[in-house]
A and B are shown apart, each in its own frame.
Chain A
Amino acid sequence: MKLAELTLLVTLILSLALMLTFAYNYLAPTPEVRNLALFYLITTYNPQLPYYTVNSPEAVTAIVWDYRGLDTLFETAVFYLALIAGLALARRLYRENPVSFLSTNGGLSIIVKTVTKITSPMIIAVGASIGLHGHLTPGGGFQGGATIAVAPMVIIITFSVFYLLTRKVTTEKMLLIRSIGLIGIGLTAISVFIIGLAAGRLAFVFQNMPKANAPMGLPGQVNGVLISGTLWFFNLFEMLAVAAGFTMAFAVLMLAGKER
């Protein structure tokens, strides 16, 4: 019995290894792909190639919001559709009536609460820094927004969700900020196209820097400060939308209760 199990196990592992060995040629990227990576790395911030560069030293953000920007737009749409679906499912399950729940004794101890009071502004500062430097350093709008959303999450755990609501951080307001963020992302995506339309020149949706056949584009620098054209706006609006969206989702999760 024991020998049979062992044999089976060894056979399984060996056949899996054999399959991987043969499949490796198809799974592992071929050296030709490296030229593509090299192209991104060379062009992402290169003033000597004005029609190819994105003017962003952070290649990941350049790829995510410029080289394959349309893909990211739909990813964002999927994320927010999921959020909307979650809110729609919870629509009858929560009520925002903080008055009857208002209590200062709830939540964790005064020690945790005081530390939360000090660290929450610091968390938001770090998140904003990650988001607003997305075109310069690793990070970006989504990461920054998710970091900012940690602060309301911690406040919900240490105080209560009603503490947030009595401080006027309601789900309606979060919905508003999230919508502003989404509208901003949409407008940024078509901004160069509209500029081109107004100027009567050829321009594309999701265009960032001027191209050889489409000379319109957003500036890569403003007064010598690198903003990488649309990338800065994408990161800013994505940060607002993600922070508000996550806050709203956390609040709704904690609010779910029975109807009276």
Chain B
Amino acid sequence: MTKILNMFIVACLTFMVYIIFTGSSSVYDLVTGFIVALIVGALFSNITLSNALKVLEPRRWYYLLRYAIRYFIIDETLAHVDVIKRILNPRMPVNPAIVKVPYNVETDYAKTCIACSITNTPGTVVVEIDENEKSFYIHWIDAKTLEPEKAREYISMVFEKYSRKIFD
């Protein structure tokens, strides 16, 4: 049962990508897309997903939408403005360091979401993840602190809060 649900979700993703990439929704595209989606869904049902029931919870989609809007409008803009200021400033005020930042989420998807959110904002890049110590190693263009817990507040608190609600 879980396998069929997993397969269905992966097939939906595949079908969507197929139709969007094709750029047309004639009968031919729908039929071939359906067949391709079924095959790919069966192949990847146990690889892509482990708990497909989470995908069907509307609460998670609500937080995903809220997070997407907040991330792309507020967090991205602030980070861009900060880095642009540093580039345009003739004294180039950078203070780079690699800091250790702990995280407190369980699933792989949540960890990936936090890591990608951090890397996608200019100024911070995740260079390594240590799953035993539950922490990222982050290269930070302006290391305000080297304390792991304080760095977490500066860098990843918001991302973590939303990632936990979306994926955990």
Q: Interface residues, chain A, CB within 8 Å of chain B?
A: 109-111, 113-115, 117-118, 120-122, 124-126, 128-129, 132-133, 167, 223, 225-226
- Which residue of chain B is the closest to A116 with respect to CB atoms? B47
Question: Are B108 and A125 closer than 8 Å at their CB atoms?
Answer: no
Chain B residues whose CB sits within 8 angstroms of the CB of A121 once the complex forms: 10, 13-14, 17, 40-41, 43-44, 48
Q: How does the 8 Å CB contact mask read for B75-113 relative to A, with 1 for contact and 0 for none?
A: 000000000000000000000000000000000110110
Chain B residues whose CB sits within 8 angstroms of the CB of A126 once the complex forms: 17-18, 21
Question: Are A132 and B36 closer than 8 Å at their CB atoms?
Answer: yes
Q: Can you spell out 9 A-B residue pairs with CB atoms less than 8 angstroms apart? A: A111-B126, A115-B116, A117-B47, A121-B10, A124-B14, A126-B18, A128-B18, A128-B36, A129-B36
Question: Are A120 and B44 closer than 8 Å at their CB atoms?
Answer: yes
A-B interface contact total, Cβ < 8 Å: 75
B contact face: mostly helix, strand, loop, or mixed: helix
Chain B residues whose CB sits within 8 angstroms of the CB of A118 once the complex forms: 13, 48
Q: Which of B22-30, B52-60, B65-73, B147-155 contacts A (4 or more CB under 8 A)?
A: B22-30
Question: Are A110 and B17 closer than 8 Å at their CB atoms?
Answer: no
Chain A residues whose CB sits within 8 angstroms of the CB of B28 once the complex forms: 225-226
A136 CA / B44 CA spacing, docked (Å): 28
Question: Are B17 and A111 closer than 8 Å at their CB atoms?
Answer: no
Chain A CB within 8 A of B166 CB: no
A118 CA / B131 CA spacing, docked (Å): 20
Chain A CB within 8 A of B138 CB: no
Chain A CB within 8 A of B128 CB: yes
Q: How does the 8 Å CB contact mask read for B1-38 relative to A, with 1 for contact and 0 for none?
A: 00000000010011101100110001110001100110
Q: Which of B107-125 contact A (CB under 8 A)?
A: 108-109, 111-112, 115-116
Chain A CB within 8 A of B157 CB: no
Chain B residues whose CB sits within 8 angstroms of the CB of A114 once the complex forms: 108-109, 111-112
Question: Are B131 and A110 closer than 8 Å at their CB atoms?
Answer: yes
Chain A CB within 8 A of B129 CB: yes
A126 CA / B26 CA spacing, docked (Å): 17
Question: Are B44 and A110 closer than 8 Å at their CB atoms?
Answer: no
Chain B residues whose CB sits within 8 angstroms of the CB of A129 once the complex forms: 18, 21-22, 33, 36
Chain A residues whose CB sits within 8 angstroms of the CB of B15 once the complex forms: 125
Q: Given the known A-B contacts A117-B48, A126-B21, A225-B27, are A111 and B14 also in contact in the complex, defined by CB atoms under 8 Å?
A: no
For B128, give its contact among A109, A115, A223, A226 (CB under 8 Å).
A109
